[in-house]
Amino acid sequence: MESQAADLSKVKRKVFVGVSIHDQKVYSVASDGHVYVFDKQRQLLKWMNIRVDRAFGCQVSEGRLFCACSDGVLRVFKTETL
């Protein structure tokens, strides 16, 4: 994946607290608990609210997206479907 600016026009006021790359997709989580998935052309593919007060980071491993959240909550999603 080449280093290029992402298309963040829809999320330009977000505070991103975690970013992870898997299968040429960029998974990111914002502090307000929204997850965003970008493709290699920097286009926003998916987004979702993971329904937490605050998120602190994310990591992709073995086809799963792990999101560390407030109150000791750890949300886990399949990368293909979220």
**What confidence tens digit (pLDDT) does each residue in 46-70 have?**
999 999 999 999 999 999 999 999 9
For residues 29 and 37, the answer to whether their CB atoms sit within 8 Å is no
**Is 13 in a helix, a strand, or coil?**
coil
pLDDT band at 24 (very low <50, low <70, confident <90, very high): very high
Which domains does the chain show, CATH number per domain? 16-78 (2.40.10.480)
The predicted model gives 37-47 an average pLDDT of 90
Q: What is the pTM of this model?
A: 0.85
**What angle (nearest 5°) sits at the alpha carbon of residue 38, between those of residues 73 and 53?**
25
The predicted model gives 26-53 an average pLDDT of 93
Mean pLDDT of the chain, nearest integer: 89
d(C-alpha 35, C-alpha 30), whole Å: 6
